[in-house]
Amino acid sequence: MIGVGNPWRGDDAAGLHTARALRPLLPPAVEVLEETGEPTSLLDRFAASDVLWLVDAVRSGAAPGTIHRLDVAAAELPAELFRTSTHHLGLAEAVELARALGRLPRQLAVFGIEGADFSAGEALSPPVARAVPKVAALIAEEVDACTKRR
């Protein structure tokens, strides 16, 4: 699992907070990482994974705290959801570049938490803070189901 975000831009840190909330819910053998979303490091992580979950903040116009789950194997990741990136290439572009290069994991689910405040600062807005443990629990359930199938 990779939590993506910028710890200094409010709700943009939702993925990082989710990774921290998820660690105690998973077996030690399941790797939980925090990334800033820098595309080349994500490409390396994608290529090294068979099954992967990503969490990042999104901005689609939905209510803050809304949880989006996207199956990347089924469809392209909508770039318009992931416009909160501080990099020239955002998460959606990194995923689609990995797809074009044949470096996507066999199974990749992306959870987006709808953000409200992306201004400078470390605090999450209340709706995003409430969504973080919900996403962590959803991913823990999916990881459990996945590991039982193996």
Provide the pLDDT for residue 39: 75
Provide the pLDDT for residue 118: 94
The confidence band for 115, taking pLDDT boundaries of 50, 70 and 90, is very high
For residue 47, pLDDT over 90 is answered with no
CATH code: domain of residue 103:
3.40.50.1450
For residue 85, pLDDT over 60 is answered with no
Strands 67-71 and 33-35, bridge-based pairing? unpaired
The confidence band for 83, taking pLDDT boundaries of 50, 70 and 90, is low
Provide the pLDDT for residue 53: 97
The confidence band for 84, taking pLDDT boundaries of 50, 70 and 90, is low
Which residues touch 20 (CB under 8 Å, ≥6 apart)? Answer: 3, 34
The confidence band for 91, taking pLDDT boundaries of 50, 70 and 90, is confident
Measured CA angle at 13 (ends 9, 2), to 5 deg: 145
**In a 3-state reduction of DSSP, which class is residue 67?**
strand
The boundaries of the domain holding residue 98 are 2-149
Query: The whole model's pTM is what?
Result: 0.91
Tell which residue, 15, 51, 17, has the closest CA to residue 31. Answer: 51
What is the number of domains present in the chain?
1
Region 3-8 average pLDDT: 94
